[in-house]
A = this chain, B = another copy of it.
């Protein structure tokens, strides 16, 4: 079989203008950026939700919102179980049934592209195209997040410097501004870059040559990856540009020496940050290899952030299409939990169906019978028939089926087939699902090898599942206390037996509650490689504790962010990073991207 990039290059793509028109956008509602990308104007939402125009004689009259299908997964191996492939393949499968459909996915971070994971455009015959555009820069939204974020950082350090430096006039007189009296030990806004760069996790800034102070005030700081920026979460959760502006204004950047929170509005930097994100708030329209419209928007990771693409992209896609396929990062304990508790409760639109992507390989990895080391390749033996491991690992799929049902959402199991998979094991897995829950559909997906054609049965089952009359039940309501909400995610969500807050976390909880932030959602950051907070614990663990090291207020995004265990918010590069194979050839084409 051809490589992903070769499949992508050998596919004739439609001009993006015709994809946009086919999707139902008017010409003034999008701007083509070259042949294969377009920015979609939020103005289309006004037209598409204008109730008075429903049933009118317009070419594209408004229609009720479509069905929202969230693709999630079992607890993945570090290689992933093919969630994006299945998302794109499923959308293509639904299109093959002549239904109106689009896909909504996140913009890949360049950190993992250059690091270890490679691209994130799907694969085989189920890709968003052109994959090199998706994986590199795209339309610059992540760069805009990085720029807006670091503008606030520069604003903070400059203000500390200018308020403290000596001059012939005092700061207030020089600048006409009121002093903010920033506590330089309590700047809570770290910097960001879209790279895997562990050396930037803990740094000292504002250092000076001996006897000088021209570089500002020395303090401890660090960089996170841009996917972890609160601005990335805000971009994904905002409803429109004015909401974006309001949310940015509320971001807490630092505290003053009287313990008062200082926001981006206090620093008078929220306007400029919004201006920096003015294009980034528009989703990017691309297409799958089979011409299905794909909206790419925002890129929060699901381990260190809330892991779902944007509400704005979903809203546009839902008004244009009858079916919208999107994905929540990692297993259903991760992105899907946040799709339900954070995203759906913010947008008001809950999932109509959840597709749980599973692989034989991934279930066997969850058996605990293989000695898997993070960073090492999976052993080839994992592809051999091993019913014992498959049966043991099935516990993990059962857990995720139960988990999805907790939210009152109908699950469909998609077995993402690998070429090496044996028919016997596939049949065994299907029968185990049927035995465990006869009401759950389980389909083999050949989306990688066959595109939409390989996902037609899955598409049929998903459409059927969308007609279920489910009652969506998030694990908590925003009006509960912060502690109740954390407990709900950890105990009801993960199935933990206890939650242990560090002393720091306890203080923070108290402080945030006192300061009036108790009605925010909670966003737990943990390893994706286990349902528990320890990567080595496979399967369906019970009787485990969720240790919460630290809480972080994200007042603009609208959640309290909780770090469970040792979660890194800035990844590192491996011994032999993926960037080493990337280059251009003599024709100027990219080689080595997968």
Residues of A within 8 A of B (CB): 31-35, 39, 110, 114, 136-137, 139-140, 143-144, 146-147, 150-151, 153-155, 157-158, 161-162, 171, 174-177, 193-209, 214-217, 220, 241-242, 245, 268-272, 274-276, 278-279, 572-577, 579-584, 586, 588, 590, 592-593
Contact = CB atoms under 8 A, between A and B. Distances in A.
A140 B145 CA distance: 13
Nearest to A204: B204
Q: Top 8 closest A-B pairs, CB basis?
A: A271-B583, A157-B199, A143-B143, A272-B579, A158-B573, A175-B575, A154-B197, A202-B207
Contacts of A586: 242
14 contacts: A110-B147, A114-B272, A140-B140, A154-B199, A157-B198, A161-B198, A162-B574, A171-B575, A202-B215, A207-B220, A241-B584, A245-B584, A271-B582, A274-B584
A37 to B, nearest CB: 9
Given A174-B575, A199-B206, A271 B592 contact: yes
Nearest to A38: B34
B580 A268 contact: yes
B590 A275 contact: yes
B576 A176 contact: yes
Contacts of A217: 199
**Copies of the chain in the assembly:** 2
A203 B195 contact: no
A208 B199 contact: no
Given A140-B137, A201-B215, A216-B199, A151 B579 contact: yes
A386 B171 CA distance: 34
Given A269-B579, A576-B175, A199 B150 contact: no
B204 A203 contact: yes
A193 B152 CA distance: 13
Contacts of A590: 275, 278
Query: In this complex, which of A39, A275, A574, A576 has the most chain B Cβ atoms within 10 angstroms of its Cβ?
Result: A275
Given A136-B276, A198-B214, A204-B207, 4 more contacts: A158-B199, A158-B572, A203-B203, A271-B592
